[in-house]
Amino acid sequence: MNDHQDSENFAYDKDWEDILAMLDKAELEQNKHFMFMQRAKSKKKRIEHMRNYKALEGVIMALRWVLGDLHVSENKVLGRQ
């Protein structure tokens, strides 16, 4: 097993409510960055918010995959789709 896969590195203490709460937080944060991206006065700020928006898109996809969202495939999570 790789170091990042060893069970000693994981607490396994999250329940479904924790995962759903994190998904809600990530979606709210992504919406915030979308709003700020639309309102940004400078290109630099717009790019910063776009980067955060796209990063959270990955987080949201991964959490939806963990929750078993039927519309989120492994390929989608890995950016192949």
The tens digit of pLDDT for each residue in 8-51 reads 888 999 999 999 999 999 999 999 999 999 999 999 999 999 99
Q: How high is the pLDDT of residue 48?
A: 97
pLDDT higher than 60, residue 1 = no
Q: How high is the pLDDT of residue 59?
A: 97
Helices marked H in 1-81: 16-39, 43-67, 74-77
Q: How high is the pLDDT of residue 2?
A: 60
**Nearest 10 degrees: CA dihedral of 52, 58, 59, 65?**
160
Q: How high is the pLDDT of residue 81?
A: 85
CA 55, CA 63: separation in Å to the nearest integer? Answer: 13
Q: How high is the pLDDT of residue 8?
A: 86
DSSP letter assigned to residue 57: H
Q: CA quadruple 16, 79, 45, 32: dihedral positive or negative?
A: negative
